Amino acid sequence: MSKIKGDDYLFDGKGKFKINEVKTKIKDFYEDKADYSSQLKELQCEIDALQNMMYAHDKYGMLVIFQAMDAAGKDGTMKRVFANVHPLGTAFYSFKRPSSKELDHDFMWRCFKELPERGKIKVFNRSYYEEVLVVKVHPEILTDVQKIPAEISSKKNVWEKRYKDIKNFEEYLTNNGIVVVKFFLNVSKKEQGERLIARINEQEKNWKFEEGDIKERGYWDNYQQAYEDLINETATKDCPWHIVPADDKKNMRLIVAKVLQEKLKTLDISYPESSDERQKELLSFIDVIKKQNEE
């Protein structure tokens, strides 16, 4: 039985979240690699079964958001947590630098059009939260790139308004049966540095390395403050944040999988029931099928 409790990593806006007070590394939940694989597979299978039921129920959808500093392990976590989940029940979208078309729309537009259907899990690699992360660390983006009018971008409460827009958006999703599950993969600066060095030293990982990662690393403290602010401002009872220690990838994946499994179990979902009349009708088809086999 898993020792992991998803609520241990949950922040729902009560109290004050302080990023420098949460751990990036914890005691392992697994004894060895085999135990880790066994635990993860069990959780994967449970997520798959619950997602299948959610699909048949056809009233809920789930939006899973991953936010983190570069090299925190978002891609690997998504790949492994959902490895045994039916591919037709899940979809993924990675948000890169906005296109010119996306920049001609409001800042939520490109995320809005990628939302999940009922019955499915949609996973966002980064999201609209970049609008209060990268854009907040580099506020010149507001006017120089996003073309926000100066009378709006220059206001002192521009970030507070964006936090409010995001909270209202997530409340809107919740009111429509879309469950929002948010993860902040919390990696330390030292561990991030080691992973970036590995991307340079290991040739097969060179494609992952971008010079821009080094530049943004220079704004580490700014990003940490931006994360602390957005988590405090956008965590709610219905749409809390899960702060996941990310220095150990195996622990991180087990925690994420457990949170998703627990969240799916809270949904009031079931397979559609069949009436007695429908059961009789279905049973009558057995003879038809058998006769067809004999033809």
Q: Which tens digits make up the pLDDT trace of 14-50?
A: 999 999 999 999 999 999 999 999 999 999 999 999 9
What integer is the mean pLDDT of 61-90? Answer: 96
Q: Which tens digits make up the pLDDT trace of 101-148?
A: 999 999 999 999 999 999 999 999 999 999 999 999 999 999 999 999
Strands across the sheet with 178-186, in order?
10-11, 241-245, 178-186, 61-68, 121-125, 90-94
Other CB atoms within a 10 A radius of the CB of residue 107 amount to 20
What integer is the mean pLDDT of 245-270? Answer: 98
pLDDT for residue 154 is more than 90: no
- pLDDT value of residue 276: 84
Residue 221 CA to its chain's centroid (Å) = 23
| Nearest-angstrom CA–CA distance, 241 and 244 | 9
Nearest CA among 11, 93, 65 for reference residue 183: 65
pLDDT for residue 2 is more than 80: no
pTM of the model: 0.94
Q: Which residues pair with 241 in a beta bridge?
A: 11, 182
What integer is the mean pLDDT of 56-74? Answer: 97
- pLDDT value of residue 1: 53
- Least confident segment among 7-16, 66-75, 143-152: 143-152
pLDDT for residue 155 is more than 90: no
